[in-house]
Amino acid sequence: MNVVRIAGSDASFECAVGESLLDGAARHGIELPYSCRKGVCGNCAGRVPEGEVVGVRGAPMTNETCLPGQVLFCMCAPVSTAVIAPTEWHRIDPGARKKFTARVFRNQRVAPDVSLLQLRLPTGQRAKFKAGQYLRVTAADGSTRCYSMANPPHESDSLSLHIRHVPGGSFSTRVPELHSGDTLEVELPFGAFSLREGERPIVLVAGGTGFAPIKSILDDMARRNVDRPTTLIWAARQADGIYLRPAVEKWQKKWPGFRFVAALSDATDALPEGFVGARADQALVQCMPALQGHELYCCGGPPMVAAVREAALRLGLDPRDFHSDVFVEGPAVPG
């Protein structure tokens, strides 16, 4: 065991040999920022001012999202006593994460390759989570898949998931076959992707079903009467990928200044009114000439998130104000 201390505090924890800093902290009730847990998103990046760390199972300790001097806490294991400096941290209730046997209430095909799966929790049970967090579903083979909750936290007796059908996916290809009454084993909450409190303008960028956590955040803002200058960019390949326009229209009525941009990258026909022909990063550049003083929240696949991040930094966004939830296909990483 190696003892790890958090700089500027009296908090410390132990990491087993080969255990990541992220997992060691969580095991002791300390949550560091994270999302994908696979070394892709960069949310967990922080510094190690004292001590030595190595890549877990030889994995790279940095990626392009890391600032100078940062490493990925999900990919690093200490090999000595160490001091870490995360961008933020907080103590968590060990009992806050719970497992439920959820029942399918409704299963709708909302786009050619997207199912909106609505689950109900057992009578009398409630799920506690923050808008933007995700859950894990246990598949038939025992592996798990991660999906963001699309419903806001106050709808605590149900869970709404937007699931894209991944070709060859062992779980997502089964989703269209689920019927009312079928059960799924789920565990939640996971992730640290959530809206920071404040009054600064926010930009929300979603790629495909990356709209799910964004919807949760915006519905929660509406519920709490949070009124901040807000721009939503929702990117898809074709127009049918923008599959929940009524939700957007509801926010436009709630906030007259709410700005919505639908970006289509592969549209071959005439664009519908209000749509632009562009990728997510291109749409960001077109509609936001500068991002100083803004916060940006981005959800989608790794290439899309990376492109949006690069564009946002060119537009003057402080790297610390870029928050992402990267959707990485395949089984979840245990932790």
Q: Please list the pLDDT of the chain residue by residue as tens digits (335 residues).
A: 999 999 999 999 999 999 999 999 988 989 898 888 888 888 899 999 999 999 999 999 999 889 899 999 999 999 999 999 999 898 887 677 899 999 999 999 999 999 999 999 999 999 999 999 999 999 878 888 999 999 999 999 999 999 999 888 888 889 999 999 999 999 999 988 999 999 999 999 999 999 999 999 999 999 999 999 999 999 999 999 999 999 999 999 999 999 999 999 987 777 877 789 999 999 999 999 999 999 999 999 999 999 999 999 999 999 989 999 998 765 555 55
Query: Model's pTM, two decimal places?
Result: 0.87
- Local structure of residue 32 (DSSP, 8 states): P
Topology at the third CATH level for domain 2-91: Ubiquitin-like (UB roll) (3.10.20)
Topology at the third CATH level for domain 202-326: Rossmann fold (3.40.50)
Every domain of the chain with CATH number 3.40.50.80 lies at: 202-326
The count of other CB atoms within 10 Å of the CB of residue 192 is 20
pLDDT of residue 334: 56
Every domain of the chain with CATH number 2.40.30.10 lies at: 98-190
* Residues near 96 by beta carbon (within 8 Å), at least 6 away in sequence: 128, 189
Could you give the CA distance from residue 270 to residue 235 in angstroms, rounded to a whole number? 17
- The CATH number assigned to the domain with range 98-190 reads 2.40.30.10
Every domain of the chain with CATH number 3.10.20.30 lies at: 2-91
Task: Choose among 152, 169, 151, 168: nearest CA to 160.
Answer: 151
Task: Choose among 34, 31, 36: nearest CA to 210.
Answer: 36
pLDDT of residue 332: 58
pLDDT of residue 331: 57
Annotate 265-297 with b (16+ C-beta within 10 A) or e (fewer): bebeeeeeeebbebbbbbbbeeebeebeebbbb
pLDDT of residue 168: 84
